[in-house]
Amino acid sequence: MHVDVSGMVCPQPVSIVRRCLEELEPGDELVVTGDYPPAERSICRTCYKHGYAVADATATDSEGTETFSLRIRVPERATPSADETVPRS
């Protein structure tokens, strides 16, 4: 699955990515592209917090605009909801 969050500012990109990740199965990947560095950091932080593996790449286009691309892999057991605060035994 691929989602482009270019032109969006926080918290919208994080919300979109979380919604997409909830639709995926373990082992699936979500590729996220965008152009707002704070959104990249927020997405990465949220993914790490909930157990998703993230590979990233940053590039600069011919106009000097910095863009990012994140490859987020859904693990066998992820915690997609921030509402889950009860530890599991």
Contacts 24+ apart (CB under 8 A), 65-70: 65/35, 66/35, 66/37, 67/6, 67/33, 67/34, 67/35, 68/32, 68/33, 68/34, 68/35, 68/37, 68/40, 69/31, 69/32, 69/33, 70/31, 70/32, 70/33, 70/40, 70/43, 70/44
- Is 47 an active-site residue? no
- Residues marked as catalytic: 10
